[in-house]
Structure 1
Amino acid sequence: MDETTGRVRVERNGADGEPATDAFQRAIDAAADAGGGTVSVPSGEYVIGTIELASDVTIRLEAGATVKPARDRAAYVDAHVGPDGERPFVLADGVENVSIVGDGVFDGRGTEFMEMDAPIRQHSGESEGHPLVSNAPHRARQGEEFLSRERGTDGWPVAKPGFRPGPMFHFVDCDGVRIRDVTLRDMPAWTISLEGCVDADVRGVDIRNHELIPNCDGVAVVNSTNVHVSDCTIESCDDAITICAAAAGRPCESVTVTNCTLSSSACAIKFGSETAGDIRNCTFQNCVVSDTNRGLGIQHRDSGDIENVLFADIVVETGLLPGPWWGKGEPIYVTSVPRDDATELGTLRNVRFSNVVARSENGAFVYGHGDADVSGVRLHGVRLAIEGGEHADAVGGNADLQPTAVTAPIYELDVAAVHCENVADVALRDVSVEWGDDVPEYCTHAIRATDVDGLVVDGFSGRQAHRESAAAAIGLDGATDSAIRASRAAAGTGTFLSVADTEGDRLFANNDLVDAAESIDGDHEFRCTGNVPPVAYAGEKETGRRG
């Protein structure tokens, strides 16, 4: 160790191409024995198996350094084994003040590990009875043609090998983690996993994984506190950033994500699906999501509570993908569904999406199962532009609730630009909807609210998907205590509002209905005032007050 700099240089051991695991571990241990320091990795190519970080040690990859994982399973520790037998690549377990920094590259060799010419066989741990739909049989619109291999498997995730390493950077019960500036590419499984950590920063990191390699999530934050992800570019097959609480009794909280560009074949930012513990107080701001299957998502499936989540100032572009992906092009996705019949589902409350501009092939989806308690969802300043796409016939027109076994994980559902079902205290303010000329026939309402208690629509503008359609711009079915105000029917609107089996109708006020052929269809008790043209209330002309 250089006592003047506090650095240890990694020296190669063995012939070129042989593992340098021992050389890395000796350098880490030497720095730790000296009370801490920096392990410097010079320019060159290195192959290693599992290395274990020590407290107060920094790994610094110098420019030109490339570190790759060994192919042999025997090069890895037999600990923290994953669902398909994965082992960690860089492991930090119960240590403090550890860092990975520098200008070098970790190359995960994912395309070498995976069976790139074969489509995925089944999800991890799932039944062979329904290998490509999680937990239960589907009821997709396409019937037996849904996920039929006879239609081809181009664009499907690829098959898993007998062995692959992962998580690649696994931090467990660590206090003080810093990952900065390095490039992480082509990972064969989970990239960065922060499990039970406190005070972790991931900053300026480029993660560029293959779009068809399953489980290669970018950053996974699990049961951790005070985590900051900023100024990163993340491209992944699985979720780019995922927030979850796999264990009860230890919350995942105080997580911030800012200034990131994200793309994913799964979900760009996802909560869950592991939600056994509580997740709270998380913010996501100033991000760009593109080339993504699902944009901003919450998969609540277990007994933990999720609360106080803010998404703001985000651009989202999503599209339908062929094959067995979780997600159907939703730009915004909030669901609470029991994982199985034994689940005692927690609550989901206070989730806000503000200043979001989205272009997608599906609508925003806010859904609570009959056993769910979902309340306080807000969409403020959200613009949705919905278009058709090449995979609509193969996979579109379905709700995707994976993973769950209490109902069909995938079932036929006409698409609304904003679908809200079995939730309470929902506010849609300054929401605008635009439909492309090529949207499929299964696209219907701009807003659909089914069994919603306490709906406020304020400042909405838009129409139904198809100008000639009988679907209304806003459809209420079984909704209670609803108010619709200061909204505008776009040109081409047929019926602006359809009503069925509603109760406690409140205000229908100050709406611009000039371009609607019909204002309200169905029996209602809204107090109608200030609308142009005037709208009758309970058989009376609009006068500005009842009676």
Structure 2
Amino acid sequence: MHFQKINLLIKKLYAFRLSAAALLMILFWACQPQVEKQKVFDITDYGAIADGMTDNAESISKAIKACQEAGGGKVIIPGDGVFVTGPFDLVSKMEFCVEGGATLLANPDTSVYQKSAFRYNPGEGMIWIGGENLTDVAITGLGVINGNGISFMGEELDDSYELLPFKVKDPRPHVLTLTNVKNLRIRDVTFRHSAYWTVHLIGCDDVVIDGITIDNSLKIRNSDGIDLDHSKNVRISNCHIKSGDDSICLKNRREFEEYGACENIVVTNCLMSSRSCALKIGSENMDTIRNVTVNNCTILASNRGIGIQNRDEGVVSDVLFSNIIIESQFFSDVWWGKSEPLYVTAYRRANINHKDASWRFPKGATEGKVGQVKNIVFRDIVCRSENGVYVSAESKDKIQNILFDGVVVNLNRSTDYEGGMYDRRPCQMEGIVKAKTSGFYIDNATDVEIRNCDIKVGDRAPLNMGQLVYRTN
């Protein structure tokens, strides 16, 4: 404020005989820069109807466009209602807020999903909520984003839902697919019932995911929780994730190779449960995954606890897992894993006739290679499991410098599955390997140190119990 104007204001205020303290408070307020309030765009102002039937994609897109044209702001899904919608895209400088009591529900009509989640590879699902090449994006609120997953499934089986057949395009929608987004924040919101991957972040940088809930059906295959794909500088904390497939997965898909390594990842204070692997690195890794810290987490009722599953030419290095409780158990062969609480493997990917086989190997190749897994630490981890720790590679140079320090393995049967096997799928060699159950099974690896560890066998010992520690080399 200009000096002359301040002087005039003082004279006028003094005429009202205000105290010196009051004058100072008023002057302090007058000299503060005025902060412009965030612009708010309520989707109901653009025609959205919370009747659980009307597709509101056009109304939501109009609200987002208005936000963009205003230079940014907050798009609100208001509480107390179910807003059905088809696909739409987020934009830069926006907060997308699903208020408490509100549900955003995916349209069950498969024909509205037309954009592939994997570019020119249409065989692995479509995009529902998308966005590409953005900055400054937030997804917040205490409401629910519901992928309506069961609507896209076939018959319910004992261990899963049947996947519906398709010719070229798998119409199942991924809930959230964001590509090349910088400064991304996802907080507090609940995601439910994804038909495919839930939160897929591709080439994103500077990401915070905090306090979210992912509650997927444990019978829906491919219903991953969070997939970090070629993404960097990511912090995941205070999340509760229940998913049929991997709860949190780090990878480098071949479709997005220009985004480089997946690196500098922190996961802390999370609760996870999965029919496959609760926290996985791989199997898709055509680049590098490095500098990963996972701390203070609990994994319950999972087929596999923590898995490093290298199946491509990329490298996994410098990873620390610490202060973790893991409960794992057997499930059917539909799900990868055989109750291994900790799992480190490096095998070439299987060359099979599959819907996405042409996207699994380098261009023009019909067979792949596998890179190294090295410098991995497991520290202060308590495992309650039907199977033991498994470390295995196709050759001794592929797994190097692995430390197990303060790991407790409690072996006890909790199901009636036979046991006596480990799961190396998907690999060119034998997938399900029959072997005696050991607390630590170390096969074809270099510099694996077991320090300050304890193996305990419960009253219901594995039926095919072998040596407590088994090494092939």
Quick check: TM above 0.5?
yes
Deviation at 1:97, TM superposition (A): 1.1
- 2:461 maps to 1:425: no
Partner deviation per Cα, 1:129-149 (whole Å, 9 max, x = no partner) = xxxxxxxxxxxxxxxxxxxxx
Unaligned runs of 5+ in 2: 1-35, 352-366
- 2:242 maps to 1:235: yes
Q: Would the alpha carbon gap of residues 441 and 42 (structure 1) be closer, same or farther in structure 2, given more than 3 Å must change?
A: closer
C-alpha distance in 1, partners of 2:323/2:303?
19
With 344-353 and 251-260 compared, the bigger mean Cα shift is at 344-353
Note the 1:296-307 alignment, pairs <5 A.
296-307=306-317
Q: Is the 8 A contact 2:153 2:161 kept in 1?
A: no
With 106-115 and 372-381 compared, the bigger mean Cα shift is at 106-115
C-alpha distance in 2, partners of 1:156/1:76?
24
Q: Is the 8 A contact 1:59 1:100 kept in 2?
A: yes
- 2:140 maps to 1:97: no
- 2:376 maps to 1:369: no
The alignment-based identity, stated in percent, is 33
Backbone CA RMSD of aligned residues: 1.8
Counterpart of 2:43?
A: 10
Note the 1:128-207 alignment, pairs <5 A.
154-160=158-164, 164-207=171-214
Where 1:28 maps in the other structure, the secondary structure is helix
Partner deviation per Cα, 1:344-373 (whole Å, 9 max, x = no partner) = 321110011000001000000011112752
Runs (4+) of structure 1 exceeding 4 A deviation are 161-164
Where 2:117 maps in the other structure, the secondary structure is coil
Deviation at 1:116, TM superposition (A): 4.1
Partner deviation per Cα, 1:512-538 (whole Å, 9 max, x = no partner) = xxxxxxxxxxxxxxxxxxxxxxxxxxx
- 2:115 maps to 1:78: yes
Residue identity opposite 1:19 in structure 2:
D
Note the 1:37-436 alignment, pairs <5 A.
37-43=73-79, 44-80=81-117, 84=123, 86-117=125-156, 119=157, 154-160=158-164, 164-247=171-254, 248=257, 250-340=260-350, 342-370=367-395, 372-393=397-418, 396-405=419-428, 407-436=429-458
Where 2:75 maps in the other structure, the secondary structure is strand
Where 1:207 maps in the other structure, the secondary structure is strand
Where 2:125 maps in the other structure, the secondary structure is coil
Q: How many residues align?
A: 411
Counterpart of 1:492?
A: none
Q: Would the alpha carbon gap of residues 373 and 85 (structure 1) be closer, same or farther in structure 2, given more than 3 Å must change?
A: closer
Residue identity opposite 1:344 in structure 2:
K
C-alpha distance in 1, partners of 2:197/2:160?
18
C-alpha distance in 2, partners of 1:286/1:4?
38
Deviation at 1:436, TM superposition (A): 1.6
C-alpha distance in 1, partners of 2:453/2:122?
42
Partner deviation per Cα, 1:381-440 (whole Å, 9 max, x = no partner) = 0000001233322xx2112110012x1111211111101111111111111001123223
Where 2:437 maps in the other structure, the secondary structure is coil
Q: Is the 8 A contact 1:346 1:372 kept in 2?
A: no
With 51-60 and 107-116 compared, the bigger mean Cα shift is at 107-116
Deviation at 1:80, TM superposition (A): 2.9
Residue identity opposite 2:131 in structure 1:
A
Deviation at 1:48, TM superposition (A): 0.7
- 2:43 maps to 1:21: no
Q: Would the alpha carbon gap of residues 15 and 266 (structure 1) be closer, same or farther in structure 2, given more than 3 Å must change?
A: closer
TM-score, normalised via structure 1 length? 0.72
TM-score, normalised via structure 2 length? 0.83
Unaligned runs of 5+ in 1: 120-153, 452-547
Q: Is the 8 A contact 1:284 1:311 kept in 2?
A: yes
Structure with bigger helix share is 2
Where 2:174 maps in the other structure, the secondary structure is coil
Note the 1:519-534 alignment, pairs <5 A.
none
